[in-house]
Amino acid sequence: MSHNLIKVKRAIISLSDKNNIEALISIIKKYNIEVLSTGGTAKVIREHDVEVTDISDYTNFPEMLDGRVKTLHPKVHGGLLGRSNISQHEKEMQEHDIEPINLLIVNLYPFSETVENGENFEECIENIDIGGPSMIRSAAKNHENVCVITNPEDYEDLNKILEKNSGSTSLIDRKLYASKAFSKTAFYDSMISQWLTKQLNVSWPDTVTISGKLVEKLRYGENPHQESAVYKKMDHKLNGVVKAGLLQGKPLSYNNLNDSDAAYDLINEFKEPTIAIIKHANPCGVSSKKSICDAWESALRTDPQSAFGGIVASNKEVTEELAKKMDKIFLEVIIAPSFSKAAVNIFSNKKNLRLLKIRPQKNVINSDHIIKDLSDGFLMQDKDNEALDENNLNIVTIKKPTSKEITDLIFAFKIAKHVKSNAIIYAKNNSTVGIGAGQMSRIDSSQIAAIKSKKASKLAGLKTNMAEGSVLASDAFFPFADGLIAAAEAGVTSIIQPGGSIRDNEVIDAANKLGLSMVFSGIRHFRH
């Protein structure tokens, strides 16, 4: 027989996850594989009329230390690590009565599930698998001789491999499963490490592992020549667009997912009925109203041209009335905690429109870190969760903002957090009326926001500019007074900015001369 093919004669099987075990039993019976197993797995396999040898009988060593020591034995690891093409290995295995093991099927103690179920520290520690990862690593290292399976979903493929090779596995298949096995143990260890560092309140550990499970390969990335895939984090408490339910439409693209995440992130800032319309990860319209339909109308009015082909997020149910309004324009994705049956029926005529049902925020959390890739490393930082309320405001001008202006200032500053820097937001009546995003100069962003406001006012058939009587939010301080002058010319009456420039006094003087009220937040919201 070619050394490339290894006949499967003997297997160790140890399963925490018993899913798809019928397919595995079929393989064992079909190829008359000798089975070594432990505890509950041995019991289940015997119930399917398969003869099983307990590991303790094979090693002549009992399970001990409350089951912590079962498979950590030379007869187990010798059988997994022995190389059949090396005479010295064969000689030593014969001397110590070690049989070669050709197949290892193991999945690990459910550590993450134990954590998510809220078990105490000691119980979580007991659900850290030791024997399983040790066997997996031994088998994966010796893939020259051993095939290792760590996922119940791979049983069907294993059956096809054995059928193709008359009960043997090929070297290329064993290499593939070895690669999967090392990924599995690395992922498992990373979950344990992250949990333990969190328990110890270690903010920035010496080493960091980024782990995730493949959801699907995407058609392409940000551009057609880039390949991409989406992975999900395995913390079940985390919520977001990756784990959302797709009620309608084809799978989301790379850009859809990126924009949808930005929309979801923004909408979570608000409890009152709110609509956010996103384009290229920037909001092009946001509004909070007593009615979700009114919020849609106001958000759309900010920039109806950019909204075409955009992503919409609602923090309330999409009703039939709202669906009828949304159905009038082309949208890529609509995100909401729920959709009425009538709304789903209305959207059904647009097969390419994706409807994403997001779990409500209650009892779920979002990731608390942001990671940005660099050429030779990556940056990690806390998520920008800093909030602002009336008690944080520092009024620095002679003129004081009205209570209505304060409400709009806080609203606009929330939006600024989610707009690419340099960011300028014009807002009025809890709705955006002009947004300037991602410019190298703050004055350019301010002027763009004013231009967009004029354009939107004209499209809406309004006699006056929507920016008249609005407030302005800036994500960072104004280094010069020119931004304020542009805002005043657009009709802004009140401004919120972090402050902190060496020219703050000049900017404050300019605001006083222009008759503007101005508030320093003390919070910067750069977003790059």
Q: Would you please indicate which residues are annotated as catalytic (active-site) residues? A: 141, 280
What is the distance between the alpha carbons of residues 142 and 178, in angstroms, rounded to a whole number?
A: 9
Nearest to 499 by CA among 525, 528, 478, 527: 478
Nearest to 511 by CA among 412, 397, 404: 397
Nearest to 89 by CA among 74, 104, 108, 103: 74
Instruction: Tell me if 435 sits within 8 A of 425, measured CB to CB.
Output: yes
Residue 302 tokens read as 């900010």
Instruction: Tell me if 296 sits within 8 A of 318, measured CB to CB.
Output: no
Instruction: Tell me if 396 sits within 8 A of 499, measured CB to CB.
Output: yes
Q: Is the peptide bond before 422 cis (omega within 30 degrees of 0)?
A: yes
What is the distance between the alpha carbons of residues 279 and 263, in angstroms, rounded to a whole number?
A: 9
Helix 442-459 to helix 292-302 angle (10° resolution) is 120
What is the distance between the alpha carbons of residues 156 and 20, in angstroms, rounded to a whole number?
A: 9
**H or E segment to which residue 22 belongs:** helix 21-30
| Strands, E assignment, 347-491 | 354-357, 369-374, 377-382, 394-395, 424-428, 431-436, 471-474
What is the distance between the alpha carbons of residues 45 and 324, in angstroms, rounded to a whole number?
A: 56
